[in-house]
Amino acid sequence: MSEDMLMDIKETIHIPLEDIEIGLSQFRQQDIRKGIDELALNIKTVGLINAITVCELENGKYELIAGQRRLMAHIELGAETIRANVLAHGLTDDEKRTISMGENITIVSPARVDYIDACTDLYRRYKSIQAVSLKLGLKQATVSKYVNYDQLIPALKKLVDKGIIPIPIGKRAQTAAINESGEIDEEAAVAYAKEMRTMTNEGTKRMVQIARKNPNLSTTQILEEGRKSGNITKFSITIASETNISLEAYAKDEDTKKPDAAVTLIEEGLEDKGYLKTET
């Protein structure tokens, strides 16, 4: 069968999720659930842009050929059906894998600057992180991160662009460097940012608090105070290996350490539920 015939679509219909089986031909085997919650939010906001692809089975059900993450997002949303392109013919295992691989390798994630531009443009228009989140179907924490980049001074943007610090560190360093006149001390901001990149999440927050509460202290004094241990509580938890793998992937994407990534997720979860209010 020619390549042109592989994707010959017989019809596009809505199929009950319970009638779709995920075969062994899926190209994506690692980090399958990565970003599923955000994909689900996007689908909930703008709808399913591209239908999944399936082929009919002899038992009356359908085998998923392409669109595993879209299917998982629909399951996450509690949907009953999903829009699907039904192939006009059966496929060999090699052909199924070819289609699945082809779909994944042709997907190019938007560059960070594209996310920054889109989020910033809408934020300037609506003046609300929540509004941008609803418009784009992104998490509020994600929108906030990209909007924060645009608000950084050039010296901190340069550190972010070079991969020296992540955006959240730049935002906190800049907040800590605001002087009594309300202006940002660039030299102090860079010094704080370079120090914060080696600190824990709680350590960076503590440095911001010290700087904001003690505007008369010099940058050197604030750095020294920030290096001291603050009031923290340590505890250990046991998580499933799958959760650990997902946490490691998240930490890598956020350019942070796994313990700090765990703290961030806990804080974001508590903040979303209304149990925690953060100053930075």
- Is the pLDDT score of 131 beyond 90? no
Cα–Cα distance, 240 to 68 (Å, whole number)? 23
Cα–Cα distance, 241 to 7 (Å, whole number)? 37
Q: How confident is the model at residue 3 (pLDDT cuts 50, 70, 90)?
A: very low
Bridge partners of 86? 11, 54
Contact 41, 272 (CB under 8 A): no
Q: How confident is the model at residue 31 (pLDDT cuts 50, 70, 90)?
A: low
**Cα dist. 136→142, 151, 176 in Å?**
11, 20, 30
Q: In this predicted model, what pLDDT tens digit does every residue of 155-164 receive, in sequence order?
A: 999 998 888 8
Helix (H, G, I), strand (E, B) or coil at 274: coil
Q: In this predicted model, what pLDDT tens digit does every residue of 56-88 receive, in sequence order?
A: 988 989 998 888 888 999 999 999 999 999 988
Cα–Cα distance, 167 to 144 (Å, whole number)? 10
Question: What residues does each domain of the chain span?
Answer: 3-105, 152-232
**pTM (two decimals):** 0.51
Cα–Cα distance, 115 to 122 (Å, whole number)? 11
Q: Which fold has domain 3-105?
A: 3.90.1530
The segment with the largest mean pLDDT, out of 59-68, 114-123, 252-261, is 59-68
